[in-house]
Amino acid sequence: MEAAERLRAGGLVAFPTETVYGLGANALDPQAVARIFEAKARPSFDPLIVHVPDLREAGRVASTSDPRVRSLAERFWPGPLTLVLPRRPELPEIVTAGLPAVGVRVPGHSVARALLATAGVPVAAPSANPFGSVSPTTAEHVAQGLGDRVDLILDAGPCRVGVESTVLSLVDDPPVVLRPGGIPHEELEAALGQTLEVRASSSRPLSPGLLERHYATRTPLWLLDEAAPQAPPERGRVGLLAFEGAPRGHGYAAVEVLAPDGRLTTAAANLFAALRRLDALGLDLLIAEPVPDAGIGRAILDRLRRAAAGSR
């Protein structure tokens, strides 16, 4: 596989996961990892997640001796769960931004798994987009955002989940959800048999996606306080990101509906692509309806709140 050869040679490969497209480099090659930060214009204090094909390979970059690691891996890997664990000294510090812990995940996408198995190296990979902008869920999004800064893009169509992985820190006692994502934290609580704190903000991030403003559109975005439809404000041409359907006689210049079927999983899968389509229309303002604050809806709301931060 050419993509695996590129990774072993220090190249950057964009590849699909079930969550979003990742921008991958050999996690054991600090010069290759530095290219990720350069390509994305990503600040060096923001750590990267390392992708591996299975739990055994996770032991190359992190300590997996905690019995909870195996228990969670058996239930949620491969899948959209990142575990923050003590890092191995062999892992370059650039990957963890100098922190003593690393986020590790086993992706569920068949193309990602084939790439990891063939490459034979752990792969550091944030989302494959310019830092702070809307995450990519198709190969076209990657090409639009990063262009020739990527050596190779693997195109496997749209991502199934559509929001990033849930990040659970096991270096905290008790464990803490650092980023809501594709695994609802209620499922993690059931697996661990305890209530989990959600700590989704940090001045020095322990996980990607924790800065106050992130996933941002070029067009200013407001998040409504209530799900009830509202008339667009007098701000020129306004677009609406609706949850289940557009209000009648709405007066918006453009409308994107996240989940015509009312399912939060559908809304998550459509979120970033819908934001990109609205953002491409040259509107003056985007309005987003909130979604139910439950399950994967928490991850959707987290992304919308960060995208809207500082827009008012």
- Residue 71's CB is within 10 A of a number of other CB atoms, namely 12
Share of the chain above pLDDT 90, in %: 82
168 forms beta bridges with 83, 177
Residues of the chain with CATH 3.90.870.10: 2-198
Q: How far are the Cα atoms of 54, 75, 204, 260, 287 from residue 305, in angstroms, in the given order?
A: 33, 30, 19, 22, 12
pLDDT, tens digit, for every residue of 65-85?
A: 999 999 999 999 999 999 999
Q: Record the tokens describing residue 276, joined without a space.
A: 């990109």
Residues of the chain with CATH 3.40.50.11030: 221-308
pLDDT, tens digit, for every residue of 192-232?
A: 999 998 876 555 555 665 556 567 899 999 998 754 446 56
Is 149 within 8 Å of 11 (Cβ atoms)?
A: no
Is 233 within 8 Å of 250 (Cβ atoms)?
A: no
The CATH code belonging to domain 2-198 is 3.90.870.10
The CATH code belonging to domain 221-308 is 3.40.50.11030
Is 106 within 8 Å of 73 (Cβ atoms)?
A: yes
Q: Record the tokens describing residue 273, joined without a space.
A: 């692509």
| pTM score, whole prediction | 0.91
Statement: residue 306 has pLDDT above 60: yes
Is 134 within 8 Å of 307 (Cβ atoms)?
A: yes
Cβ neighbours of residue 49 closer than 8 Å, sequence gap 6 or more: 82, 103, 104, 105, 124, 125, 126, 165, 167, 207, 208
- The answer to which of 20-24, 35-39, 40-44 has the lowest mean pLDDT is 40-44
